[in-house]
Structure 1
């Protein structure tokens, strides 16, 4: 598989993804990697309906994503990975999928999270996962919309989480 884009966006397939990011990715297929979505039949159906025209979408958990990545049948497929959180991306990387760059879009605020930008809020598990991804050499590019400047999320994390 050829990874054209890997992005965290907890809304998954929505306006920005269908009109901008999917075009930027120039992929054949969107693969959503998320255990909760994988187990939610209604949400899976809705996401498949929201997929950009002409693009396939698959919703899988991490073990299935790793198995598919390693299946030679798909070696020439261009893939756009979508995640809701950095923990699933970390599991994929630790499982041997060579994600070199991770684009970070929206991660909405909820109880227990700290807002680090107007569109990104993190809890301690998110911070821990981002730190591990950074240590594994994954470039962490915070860019909610394509016109935003590129920012290394680790810089924002250091500002908010001293130490």
Structure 2
């Protein structure tokens, strides 16, 4: 049976107002699992993410290894879950380790040195592109939407259009 992953999202802001309210309503989730080795070891960021979580939903900040452990055991069987990641590389690592995902929603990847802006809220470098291409090759749908009401945009088409492939 396993956990019922309703949404997997990449957003380097992780839990923030928009995600928390719009996506949790649309997907009917009960828990948000923030999967980030970095944030899992940062008490302040963990505390702030808990504050940003809607009252009706439980949130946990876990490492990639912890995700693999809870994914394999029955602890969250049937539980409606949103997985939140900060980077495509992290998503690829857990998929390659056996987490079965059908689709990944790309929310926000902020601009920094060495990245190219592909939309006004998504910037990526070559490593990001390679991770996305591998995910797409594994048959995972990659769609860009900030909020559920946005029209889906195919990320790979966008990467091709931007000549990043």
TM-score, length of structure 1 as denominator length: 0.96
Query: 1:71, 1:135 → 2: CA distance?
Result: 27
The equivalent residue for 1:47 is 49
Query: 1:44, 1:162 → 2: CA distance?
Result: 34
The equivalent residue for 2:77 is 75
Aligned to 1:105, the other structure's residue is in SS state strand
Corresponding residue to 1:111 among 107, 110, 113: 113
Query: 1:149, 1:54 → 2: CA distance?
Result: 27
The equivalent residue for 2:127 is 125
Map 1:1-163 to 2 at 5 A: 1-163=3-165
Query: 2:164, 2:152 → 1: CA distance?
Result: 22
Structure 1, unmatched stretches of 5+, are none
Query: 1:45, 1:88 → 2: CA distance?
Result: 22
1:162 to partner: Cα distance: 4.7
Task: Name the Cα RMSD after superposition.
Answer: 1.1
Aligned to 2:128, the other structure's residue is in SS state helix
Report the number of matched residues. Answer: 163
Query: 1:12, 1:45 → 2: CA distance?
Result: 13
Deviations 1:30-87 (A, max 9, x none): 0001111111111001101111111111111111101001111221211100011111
Query: 2:103, 2:40 → 1: CA distance?
Result: 23
Query: 1:73, 1:153 → 2: CA distance?
Result: 33
Structure 1 segments, 4+ long, off by >4 Å, are none
1:161 to partner: Cα distance: 2.8
Task: Indicate conservation of the 8 Å contact 2:129/2:164, yes or no.
Answer: no
Query: 1:32, 1:39 → 2: CA distance?
Result: 12
Aligned to 2:51, the other structure's residue is in SS state helix
